[in-house]
């Protein structure tokens, strides 16, 4: 029986075979030749993808590594459309963003549903730009060519808290749907972590 390839290993092999200048230009990121490193802004952090060493600095966790790698391989040299859409309205999005792949709103609702100000503080700590939607909303440049909007409606006497993600209409041209889902998960976790760090600061 043939041995299955490690999916992350395949991504590293593809990145090693890529031309760094072309990959960096497509993804709108910097490349450091001395370290063979791509400098990728990811959800408010600066990540270094070290192609020769097959490791990522500044992005703890499997999902952040996966998002960074996939973006360098998939990004296209084109600007966002500038139009927000529900992720389910992307091609095949209605089939993908359900069941095992729901948008990661539950953690945001739990963390910020009673405190929109905490959400605002966390969003601004990650470089979010305020939007006029919901009770609080921010646009994040999750990756250089992948803007993501997060909207929060706070809980009240009648309704529970609700959060929603919006993506650019051309987001699927920059990343496959599974990688877009991972990017949103990374962003949600970073927002919750930023709020925890803010609460711990005297």
Q: Give the model's pLDDT for residue 196.
A: 84
Residues of the chain with pLDDT under 50: 1-3, 200-202
Q: Give the model's pLDDT for residue 8.
A: 87
Q: Give the model's pLDDT for residue 198.
A: 63
CA–CA distance, 162 with 110 (Å, rounded to integer): 9
CA–CA distance, 94 with 111 (Å, rounded to integer): 27
For residue 69, what are the contacts with CB-CB under 8 A and spacing of at least 6? 8, 11, 12, 15, 49, 56
Q: Which H helix or E strand runs over 48?
A: strand 45-50
Q: Give the model's pLDDT for residue 199.
A: 55
Q: Give the model's pLDDT for residue 13.
A: 95
pLDDT one-digit tens code per residue, 3-14 = 455 778 899 999
Q: Which H helix or E strand runs over 40?
A: strand 37-42
* pTM: predicted TM-score of the whole model, two decimal places: 0.92
List C-alpha distances in Å: 69 to 63, 117, 179.
10, 33, 10
CA–CA distance, 177 with 90 (Å, rounded to integer): 9
Tokens of 163: 């959060």
CA–CA distance, 35 with 107 (Å, rounded to integer): 37
Q: For the chain, where are the alpha helices, taking DSSP H only?
A: 7-17, 20-27, 62-74, 93-96, 106-112, 116-125, 171-174, 177-200
Q: Give the model's pLDDT for residue 108.
A: 98
């Amino acid at each position: 029986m043939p041995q299955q390839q490690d999916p992350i290993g395949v991504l590293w092999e593809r990145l090693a075979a890529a031309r760094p200048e072309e990959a960096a230009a497509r993804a709108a990121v910097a490349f450091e030749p001395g370290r063979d490193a791509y400098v990728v802004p990811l959800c408010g952090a600066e990540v270094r993808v070290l192609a020769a060493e097959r490791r990522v600095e500044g992005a703890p966790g499997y999902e952040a590594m996966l998002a960074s790698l996939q973006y360098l391989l998939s990004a296209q040299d084109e600007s966002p459309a500038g139009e927000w859409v529900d992720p389910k309205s992307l091609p095949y999005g209605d089939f993908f963003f359900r069941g095992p792949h729901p948008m990661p709103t539950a953690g945001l609702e739990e963390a910020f549903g009673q405190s929109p100000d905490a959400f605002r503080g966390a969003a601004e700590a990650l470089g979010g730009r305020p939007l006029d939607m919901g009770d609080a909303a921010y646009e994040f440049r999750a990756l250089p060519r992948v803007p993501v909007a997060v909207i929060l409606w706070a809980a009240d006497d009648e309704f529970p808290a609700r959060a929603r993600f919006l993506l650019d209409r051309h987001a699927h041209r920059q990343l496959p749907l599974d990688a877009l889902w991972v990017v949103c998960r990374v962003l949600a976790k970073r927002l919750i972590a930023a709020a925890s760090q803010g609460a711990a600061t005297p």
